[in-house]
Structure 1
Amino acid sequence: MAIEILMPKLGLTMTEGTIEEWKKKEGEAVKAGDVLFSVATDKLSSDVECDKEGVLLKIVCPAGETAPCKSVVAYIGQAGESIGENVAAEKEEAPLKKESLSSEPSQKSDKKSIIIVGGGPGGYVAAIRAAQLGAEVTVVEKEYLGGTCLNIGCIPTKSLLHSAELYEQIKHQGKELGINATGLSVDFTQVIAHKDAISKQLTSGVAGLFKLNKIKKIDGEASFIAPKTLLVKKADGKEEQLKGDAIILATGSINFAPPIPGLKENPNCIDSTGALSLEALPKSMVVIGGGVIGLELACAYAAFGTKITVIEAVAHMLPMMDREITEVSVGHMKNMGIDFHLECPVQAIEPSPFGAKVICKNKEGNTLAFEAEKVLVAIGRRPNTASLELEVGGVHHDNGRIFVNTKMETNVPGVYAIGDCVKGYAQLAHTASAMGEVAAENICGHTAYYEEGTSPTCVYMMPEAAGVGLTEEACKEKGMEYKVGKFPMSANGKALILNGGEGLVKIITDVKHEEILGMHIVGPRATDLIAEGALAIRLEATAEELISTIHSHPTVTETMREAALNVEKRAIHMKN
């Protein structure tokens, strides 16, 4: 008798899945272990292997359709075997029921048609939110869904860092922790393969969400040919003109290559994209730029064993972070063997038998030279708007950075912009996503505003650092009276277990009410912990309200309560 193939339940919260693609056709032989189909659920995409052997007799749930977990999606048996009289009509008798997305279509306007240029973390989130609200959505993407973040930015960088951190922990802390490892080495090819697999899974998940939300995707590059009118040059060479009720520009940013003599001519000079796709682990690397991208990749490669030299033109790194937090991070990186040269602008790059020679001039006026196999140029990004023809569309901008208001509206009614391509906001994936939701909701008749005050900045170096709200330096610049509470990770049990207690939590409040103005963390789980600080600022919470909230033990979150206690000079586990 034919065997039922069911929609798997791949997680505790999974209730249904969308068939992305059938890897086998009806009538095709199937062996145990063959991938039968791929399924998308939420933001993930997974291949489902068959544990039976036979012939794929009947596909009940075609590609693009959704089925509840544990429901029949196909039948496998022997060639010519009957699968019962009622199978063909099964879907008509038991139609699939799509769950609510907890969003109601706008009651304030007719169904909107929206064109989104760019499928990164801003564009794809805007597309999904608009579809939830009942809009017809078309996304134009010239390269790949997920944008820089999922493909060549946030996600692959963090994958690389996780591999590096694990290697460093086993190598340097294993013996202390009772883990004795021999023959420890880095298989860099597998490090890159794992990174690529994570990115592929997530981008496939976004594609699945597009199908689930009936979002149309066009592969191509869009540019204005008139206000609110786009011409798309498709990947297949054809062209299509697009108009809609609204347009959202979400083209993101690209790496900036400074006009350093000799830079473009040297193939050993790479950007962050190149640093994420090296075929072999370099023995040495010079990193030009002490910002987020440069320091994250510096930490990863240093942990793998690459000799790292960081060169920065100004007097300090990570200017957006609280200075005290940055000092803790730099101290750790120096212990990792990373060399720093501040106030040392690059003058030129010359050929070298090692790979490249970086010529600099320090603050004393002396010329310095640094040789390395690879030179990572990480001094910033610029808006990816050159191909949009913004002038033709009448969209106001400053050197490609688009002017918007807090509703994400440009000067052209019906044209919105979000993410890294806008002017005056942080260039972060989560800010782009938040902006995307704001734009979609305003287009669909709701009223929403983007507020950056609760947007955290996260740096995934070693150890992690994160901050939200005002830094101490910002308070001083504004002439504000403020109070500071601090708590060292070394006095926290869980932090001692995780990384030896390296790090710090710092809370800044006003004087009168002790309202939380800023929270800054360096140490284990900092990028996860910072959400409590963002929520505290959003709710205008006070130090006392953090104190009166019980934090579970043993966790790193206890450091946040202790820092709040220290604002009032009554921390329990340290001298106030």
Structure 2
Amino acid sequence: MEKHDFDLIVIGGGPGGYVAAIRTAQLGAKVCLIEKHKLGGTCLNWGCIPTKALYRSAEVYHLMKNSEEFGILKSGITVDWELVQCRKRKIVDQLVGGIVQLMKSYGITVIEGEAQFEDTNTVLVRKSDETTENYSADHIIIATGSKPALLPIEGADLPDVLDSTAMLSVEHIPNRLVIIGGGVIGMEFAAIFSAFGSQVTVIEFLPSILAQLDGDISKRFTPMMKKRGVEILTSAEVKKIEEEDGHVVLTLSTKKGDMKIPADKVLMATGRKPAVEGLMLEKAGVAYSKKGIGTNSYGQTNILNIYAIGDVTGGIMLAHTASHQGIIAVEHMMGMEPQYNADVVPSCVFAFPEIASVGMTEEEAVAKGIVYKTSKFMFGANGKALTLGEGEGFLKVISDEDDVIIGVHILGPHASDLIHEGALAISMKARAQDIINTIHAHPTLAEVFSEAVMGLKGIGLHAAPIKKK
């Protein structure tokens, strides 16, 4: 039997790849991680973490501008953009450094370079000095992530038209920002830069923003954003982008006819696509399409010793999904029988207020013909939310006819933290009574979940009684 250099080679050091490498080392196998840019991948360096750093700065600025609501008088509050960017870089560098140390502590071989397949067990790595070297392994995991999917719009290559990576490092806060795409990425940037003072316009091709979320979320969130000064144009399509007198002008088609919008910067937030270019998957016989690399529930491709995880598979493009898939793939290749519930994946939108969702939307329940019940509880009736000055929004819970929780959707303060009780409830197939029987501390935001669940059974304590028909 041919002897290979490693038990596992992982291509890509993002949240899927580096977690897979750590889990492999924990199980006693010899692992090599190949990364062409920086450990942490898009999420840590150009996505999740830097956007949340900017989000927090925007949140603090917004809070300080409105401090008189809390009895705190203010004067002379300004944004120092370079200090905001410096804080962002410091956080990213700290986390990247932590991953570097983790790799060392687990004895993981890290190779910097661009990988491509030579065959089913061999990878060629091209390093920054253009030298190449081959490495072999019993198993290989592809975790190369995704990249921005740019629409073929005339003028999309102009200097002031940016993708999400470039937008994170703009030299100054743009006075006028137009965002093409009203999905998660677009709405997060809209929230951040509008809070910093940009005049933001969001252009969405579909009839509503955040179309993948429960309809009640989008309906309530849209007017909230407009109240904060964000203009949202739905059922609109950008036809071209042109330079004009030191700025750019977008021509778009809308329900009311063609219109032009000037901007200082344009963000293309039109989704992401799997990053498979340059891998030479054909040499290994790995099947893939424009949608991504096909896998089974364990991450195996059609070549059984080669796995693929995270964004490159074209599935749910979330960092925590990639990490979990990495663990599942490693445990499967090591002969274990890992469990994975792909239907219970919480997702979050860091806007003002936050949005979080897990499980089935009401629209999905209708489409599947499920007999269901819904209940909402408003944050405006929660003591902790009011003390925070964040009484906007609601928590919506969906159950089946047997009171089993099947969906939780939150628009309100700390939604990204609250959603996990909903995720656990759905994962454990908890019934409404299980939640009701669990004491929730007062005064906390978590009481909103308990109250919403009580509403499923018509026994909510801090909401008006439901009128009988």
Tell me the TM-score normalised to structure 2 length.
0.97
Decide whether the 8 Å contact of 1:111 with 1:134 is kept in 2. Answer: no
Q: C-alpha deviations, 1:537-571, integer Å up to 9, x for none?
A: 11100111111100011100000000000001110
Q: Superposed, which structure 2 residues align to 1:150-549 within 5 Å? A: 150-172=44-66, 174-264=67-157, 266-364=158-256, 366-399=257-290, 401-423=292-314, 425-511=315-401, 513-549=402-438
Decide whether the 8 Å contact of 1:224 with 1:230 is kept in 2. Answer: yes
Q: Secondary structure at the match of 2:299?
A: coil
More deviation in 446-455 or 497-506?
A: 446-455
When you count helix as a share of all residues, which structure comes out higher?
2
The answer for the alignment partner of 1:138 in structure 2 is 32
Higher relative contact order, chain-length normalized (CA < 8 Å, sep 6+): 2
Aligned length: 462
Question: Structure 2: which 5+ residue stretches go unaligned?
Answer: none
Decide whether the 8 Å contact of 1:285 with 1:308 is kept in 2. Answer: yes
CA apart distance, 1:391: 1.6
Decide whether the 8 Å contact of 1:354 with 1:372 is kept in 2. Answer: no
Q: C-alpha deviations, 1:219-277, integer Å up to 9, x for none?
A: 0001112223211111232111111010000000001111101111x100011111100
> Counterpart amino acid of 2:49?
I
> Counterpart amino acid of 1:347?
K
Q: C-alpha deviations, 1:12-36, integer Å up to 9, x for none?
A: xxxxxxxxxxxxxxxxxxxxxxxxx
Decide whether the 8 Å contact of 1:385 with 1:400 is kept in 2. Answer: no
Question: Structure 1: which 5+ residue stretches go unaligned?
Answer: 1-109
In 2: Cα distance, 1:397 partner to 1:389 partner = 11
CA apart distance, 1:326: 1.9
> Counterpart amino acid of 1:329?
F
Q: C-alpha deviations, 1:511-553, integer Å up to 9, x for none?
A: 1x20000001010010011000110011100111111100011
Q: Secondary structure at the match of 1:175?
A: helix
In 1: Cα distance, 2:454 partner to 2:291 partner = 46
How has the CA–CA distance of structure 1 residues 112 and 449 changed in structure 2, closer, same or farther, with 3 Å as cutoff? farther
How has the CA–CA distance of structure 1 residues 111 and 243 changed in structure 2, closer, same or farther, with 3 Å as cutoff? closer
Q: CA RMSD in A?
A: 1.3
Q: Secondary structure at the match of 1:496?
A: helix
Q: Secondary structure at the match of 1:387?
A: coil
CA apart distance, 1:328: 2.1
> Counterpart amino acid of 1:192?
Q
In 1: Cα distance, 2:202 partner to 2:246 partner = 17
In 2: Cα distance, 1:134 partner to 1:500 partner = 48
In 2: Cα distance, 1:111 partner to 1:451 partner = 33
In 2: Cα distance, 1:181 partner to 1:137 partner = 55
Decide whether the 8 Å contact of 1:499 with 1:524 is kept in 2. Answer: no
In 2: Cα distance, 1:211 partner to 1:133 partner = 16
In 2: Cα distance, 1:119 partner to 1:434 partner = 14
Q: Superposed, which structure 2 residues align to 1:64-103 within 5 Å? A: none
Decide whether the 8 Å contact of 2:5 with 2:136 is kept in 1. Answer: no
Q: Superposed, which structure 2 residues align to 1:543-558 within 5 Å? A: 543-558=432-447
CA apart distance, 1:480: 1.2
CA apart distance, 1:323: 1.1
In 2: Cα distance, 1:321 partner to 1:208 partner = 38
How has the CA–CA distance of structure 1 residues 315 and 482 changed in structure 2, closer, same or farther, with 3 Å as cutoff? same
Q: Secondary structure at the match of 1:454?
A: coil
Q: Percent identity?
A: 44
CA apart distance, 1:340: 0.6
Q: C-alpha deviations, 1:149-204, integer Å up to 9, x for none?
A: 100000000110110011011112x1010111210000011111101110000010
CA apart distance, 1:461: 1.0
CA apart distance, 1:112: 6.5
Which protein has the larger Cα radius of gyration, Structure 1 or Structure 2? 1
Decide whether the 8 Å contact of 1:354 with 1:371 is kept in 2. Answer: no
In 1: Cα distance, 2:233 partner to 2:169 partner = 26
In 2: Cα distance, 1:214 partner to 1:235 partner = 23
More deviation in 458-467 or 355-364?
A: 355-364
User: Is 2:14 the partner of 1:120?
Assistant: yes
